[in-house]
């Protein structure tokens, strides 16, 4: 799509201000920019400071037609020693979305359109938002521009979120009391009130429904947000039909205008232009030595371990993972954030360090997609966040899964049971199980079969995202029929 500066469409993108939500929306911003859009990407002040700290003072200068703006989050500052290195409290953010975000966002849109009247930038023509916030929907309605939502989670997890009200109305949740969390009920009870879920247990649902509190804030919040979803112009998913056809079919019976436009990693790999490569989206400083170290390793020999940007664990769980990896005798790269251990700093014994010194690398953060696509990586021990799964699939890498919260247990169900490209590790992690499953993943018969299946899915992902592929066509359709459509309200 060729556009002059005067006629360029202007998309304002608003992510939920957490790392795992920023990444996919940022990739969508790049895809829209490559198709001729002027981009304004909106960070919170807090995350803006984190970027500058991790990526340097020029990190958010952007390009003339790919700009960054900020709005306040309305939350009190964190402790000085924590500020800039940790994710914010999710319920507090969600409460602030309700109370504090709309007016600053309105003001930003007004400033952008004021700049447009001076001929500095194009006027705002559409808004793209994370699906788990509703204030951008109201702002788009007031401005009379189209709005699309991006689901940062899988279609299967989004289907669950859209049915939280169903779970409450049928008496499935909240749970009768706290004992139901530990007495086996979650493992043995099938979910029968959500069309499109086959043999799902209660434990396979997103963590927000596993509560005995009838006034649980997060459950109420997601039900409220889901109520606004049907009012938007379209909803797009970072997935492809080959992977999630059943979930998309179930969603299509509930909502109009749904489009699979992923997976984003394959899409961007095939993009002809690399002028956006300098624009990154990681809130942590990426350690370049990960890729350097991998150069010295044998093909498909290394286990990559990363539990994402929010997962935390006890010191005991960290110890079990550490010795499971050590005892497997397999080389590994382990990403350990400073805030990974609950209530304390990360401490690995000198015995462990000495045991694994010649076959391991530990870093605080890394360029994950580049690592997963390195020829020496053979398996991925993951928390099952949706970004990590799509990146692993696009790299053809099978997984060991240790889901933590939110949609991760749902994703784990699909990875391990439906697609058969992963193996779940018990939540009560033991070093013997870690050792056994790492070896199964890397050199076992099951690992071999999983690798074959991920390789097939990688090929399918490439087919869907290249010109003429279904996801490629869907993205063009969303642009032409939704984002470029002149609203009748103007």
Q: Which of 276, 281, 258 is nearest to 471 (CA)?
A: 258
Q: Active site includes 33?
A: no
How many helices, marked H, and strands, marked E, lie in the chain? 20, 13
Q: Active site includes 21?
A: yes
| Spacing of C-alpha 257 from chain mean position | 22
From 38, 43, 130, 163, active-site residue: 130
> Containing H/E element for 150?
strand 147-151
Between CA 476 and CA 101 the distance in angstroms is 31
User: Is residue 268 a contact partner of residue 31, using CB atoms and an 8 Å limit?
Assistant: yes
First to last CA, the chain: 24
Tokens of 103: 């007016």
Q: What pairing do the DSSP bridges indicate for beta strands 399-401 and 422-424? A: parallel
* Close Cβ partners of 251 (under 8 Å, ≥ 6 residues apart): 155, 158, 159, 162, 196, 258
Q: List, as one string, the DSSP characters of 94-137.
A: HHHHHHTSHHHHHHHHHHHHHHHHTTSSPPP-EEEEETT--HHH
Tokens of 249: 């079919």
| Spacing of C-alpha 238 from chain mean position | 9
Between CA 69 and CA 14 the distance in angstroms is 10
Between CA 438 and CA 314 the distance in angstroms is 21
Q: Which of 270, 325, 307, 282 is nearest to 19 (CA)?
A: 282
336: phi then psi, degrees, rounded to nearest 5: -120, 105
Q: Which of 207, 150, 235 is nearest to 482 (CA)?
A: 235
Q: Which of 185, 131, 180 is nearest to 160 (CA)?
A: 131
Biggest distance spanned by C-alpha atoms of the chain: 68
Beta bridge partners of 148: 128, 234
Which residues belong to the active site? 21, 130
């Amino acid at each position: 799509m060729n556009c002059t500066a005067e006629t360029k469409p202007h998309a304002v993108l608003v992510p939920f201000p957490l790392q795992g939500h920023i990444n996919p929306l940022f990739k969508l911003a790049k895809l829209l920019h490559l198709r001729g859009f002027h981009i304004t990407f909106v960070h919170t002040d807090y995350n803006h400071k984190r970027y500058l700290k991790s990526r340097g003072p020029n990190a958010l200068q952007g390009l003339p037609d790919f700009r960054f703006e900020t709005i306040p989050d309305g939350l009190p500052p964190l402790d000085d020693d924590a500020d800039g290195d940790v994710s914010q409290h999710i319920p507090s953010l969600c409460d602030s979305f309700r109370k504090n975000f709309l007016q600053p966002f309105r003001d930003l849109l007004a400033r952008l359109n004021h700049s447009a009247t001076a001929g500095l930038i194009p006027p705002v023509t559409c808004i793209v938002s994370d699906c788990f916030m509703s204030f951008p929907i109201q702002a788009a309605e007031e401005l009379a521009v189209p709005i699309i939502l991006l689901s940062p989670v899988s279609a299967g997890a989004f289907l669950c979120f859209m049915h939280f009200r169903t779970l409450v109305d049928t008496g499935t949740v909240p749970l009768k009391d706290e004992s139901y969390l530990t007495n086996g009920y979650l493992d043995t009870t099938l979910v029968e009130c959500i069309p499109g879920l086959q043999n799902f247990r209660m434990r396979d649902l997103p963590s927000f429904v596993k509560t005995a509190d009838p006034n649980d804030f997060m459950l109420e919040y997601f039900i409220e947000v889901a109520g606004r979803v049907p009012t938007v112009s379209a909803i797009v998913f970072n997935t492809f039909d080959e992977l999630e056809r059943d979930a998309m079919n179930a969603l299509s019976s509930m909502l109009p205008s749904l489009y699979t436009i992923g997976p984003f990693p394959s899409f961007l790999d095939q993009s002809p232009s690399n002028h956006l490569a300098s624009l990154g989206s990681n809130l942590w400083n990426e350690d370049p030595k990960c890729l350097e170290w991998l150069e010295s390793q044998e093909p498909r020999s290394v286990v990559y371990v990363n539990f994402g940007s929010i997962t935390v664990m006890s010191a005991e769980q960290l110890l079990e993972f550490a010795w499971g990896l050590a005892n497997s005798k397999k080389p590994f790269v382990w990403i350990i954030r400073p805030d990974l251990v609950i209530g304390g700093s990360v401490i690995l014994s000198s015995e462990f360090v000495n045991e694994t010194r010649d076959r391991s690398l530990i870093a605080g953060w890394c360029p994950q997609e580049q690592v997963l696509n390195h020829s020496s990586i053979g398996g991925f021990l993951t928390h099952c966040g949706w970004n990590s799964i799509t990146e692993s699939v696009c790299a053809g890498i099978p997984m060991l899964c240790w889901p933590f919260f939110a949609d991760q247990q749902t994703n784990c169900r699909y990875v391990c049971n439906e697609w058969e490209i992963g193996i779940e590790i018990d939540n009560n992690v033991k070093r013997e199980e870690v050792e056994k499953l790492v070896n199964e993943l890397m050199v076992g018969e099951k690992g071999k079969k999983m690798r074959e299946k991920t390789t097939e899915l990688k090929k399918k992902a490439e087919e869907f995202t290249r010109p003429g592929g279904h996801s490629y066509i869907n993205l063009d359709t969303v642009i032409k029929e939704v984002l470029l459509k002149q609203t009748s309200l103007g």
